[in-house]
Structure 1
Amino acid sequence: MTLELPTRFERDWDRPVSDAPLRFAVIGLGGFARNTALPCIEESDYCETTAVVSGSPEKAAEVASEFDAEHALTYEEYADGVGSEDYDAVYVVTPNALHLPHVETAADLEKAVLCEKPLEADADRAERLVEVCEDAGVPLMTAYRMQAARSIRWIRRQVADGLIGDPVQIHGEFSYPLLANGGDPNQWRIDPDLSGGAALMDIGIYPINTARYVLDADPVAARGTTHNPDPAFEGVDEHVAAQLEFPDAVTASCTASFGASVASRFAITGTEGRIVVESVFGVDDACHLTIDVDGSHLEGTVAAPHEVSEEFDYFATAVLTEMGLAPDGRHGLTDVQIAEAVYESAEEGTRVEL
């Protein structure tokens, strides 16, 4: 076997898109929307922003001006359908527990939906969100940018092609000190009513979902532990560890923390080799890849475009062409159910079957 490190990752899903751009209403104008998502829509090949929606009319007007959006709407105006003739899809990027009503509006307006992960703050609301879109017949994609990331898609193909033999173990970790350097202790990410949890629901979802995607399988059982030594995290998880059991005796150990040093790493070990990718869960435009197979060791940094721009173009391509849309709402619902199983296991100290 000749083992080579890719010099760059290519889109494996790209195809002609004749009806571009897909016009977006961006629902929620927090830091991620303003600093990451909206600039990435600007940089994308097939998307544009034509409406922005906020609880603050002043913020909506400011952001609309900054990104040349035609409409600056309040949540009430969005719910009333103001300006809806000028957008084709909505991107919901509000706190988790606010996703459902905004998706309900999008379904009523017959707009395609890209909804941030996790789909909602609990599984019952996530299931209702999925059903609303199914009943209306509108496309729903869960915003797992890792599934549009060229690096992870490349790794998934190598695993499927048997590069490392049969998968045995996955280790994924994602952490950063959320409240360091003046982080807001009152932010929604650590408000259980808005988030449904903390480290697990916000960043632990990344290694869990990436494990599912790379294996092309869902776990059958989960064990979990959570800790919150910092009083600011009272009632939610500051640190979480999830042990997932997949079919064929494959396991995934996924950890996340809002109180640890920065870590962003995904590794999959098989019967014949191992692949490790670092700086994987952030939005950096390059990753460090290590491959060990048949006594060969390769490593290097491989460039790739911004994962969020890729995600928007992937979604637009799926909506505007015959390409199937994934990860869909049911896929996103499964992760919320997994998260609830991890929390149940942590509370009860038991293995929870899924």
Structure 2
Amino acid sequence: MRVFYDWSSKEWFSHTGATLGSNLLPLKSSDPETEQRSLSFSLTSNNHNAGPVIGILTGKGRDNTLAGNGPLFKALQKEILQNKGISFVFTSEDIKENSVSGYIYSPEDEKWIQACCPLPHLVYNRVPFRKLEQTDSFKEACHFFKELNIPFFNPGFLDKYEVCQLFMNHPPLRKYLPDTILVTDESELKNFLGKHRVIYLKPVQGAKGKGIYRLSHSDGRKLTMSGIKHSFSYRCFESFWKEWSLQLTGKAYLAQKAISPARLDGKRFDFRILAHFSKGEYRVTGIGIRQAQDQDITTHIPNGGILIPYEKVQTKEHDEFINMAVAEAGILLKKEKGFFGEFSMDAGLTHKGRYVIYELNAKPMCFDETSIELKRIQELTRLFFNMTGF
């Protein structure tokens, strides 16, 4: 079905008496003149309802412009268009009673076009900042779509410690979680460090390896606090706590036992795994390897890590662990936190060959492996169409 959007009148047209979007917006009859000056889309028809219309929920930055993963939004729009659907990007402030003021990407013109859009058949949550998910407008948007039974794809960011607690109470995954506590007071952290000798300190709501430190006993009572770029030494735990207590308790940090990692060519490596919901279960979409270089606190690319093809380390045992971990983690998330159509998992391997799960990410950034990112776009589009009945 051909559907047209007229920029000047901000109205939608078609050749047939059909509707558009989840609120069944009536499409006006088009004529050659209107079609000439309009954006044209070829959409699927489901009982004379054109779609699917996918709303990508994002947020605004400090300069009040749209924020978020632009390359992902563009790639999704291209794939959705090729499958005879359409997507638009919007913020929670853009929702009206029966319409949304959104932005449609035109691949032909290579630009974003502001449009008056119908209510979507599905909302894909890509709000880029945790603080935006705490705003009244975001919470009102969630309630708005829930009341209308519009699927909301990915409820929100994941709290690292909450995920750890879920794992602790889930036998199939419990053994893969390093010993972990929430940093709340001096004595508990001191005892935890005394027990493990080397620990990681991670912000509960952090991302991309930011704010991660390794704390270790370096010599007797002396402590070393190592970050990605800086290192600090303290004569005793008390002097360390005096300097760091406000940050560790104010921002919410967890402490986690440090593993002795397996190494490839002398440097540690981790698994970065992408997963999607498919045919009633969670399946692996792609696996990337991240290897540390100048520092081995994290393997993230922005912190100097490099890409290694999974095939270089792949074994039958790795495949079996990753498939199991993805399936179990997906089931657990769905049961306890709501429907997550996609997530990524960071996992590792000890020098003794034991698997470790570090964390889950509800809103994966783009994968640097082109093949994995391409499959991701295809999996998301497939999932959008299946969930909307198109």
Question: Structure 2 length normalisation: TM-score?
Answer: 0.31
* Bigger relative CO (Cα 8 Å, ≥ 6 apart): 1
Q: Would you tell me which structure has more helix in proportion to its own residues? A: 1
Q: Would you tell me which structure has more strand in proportion to its own residues? A: 2
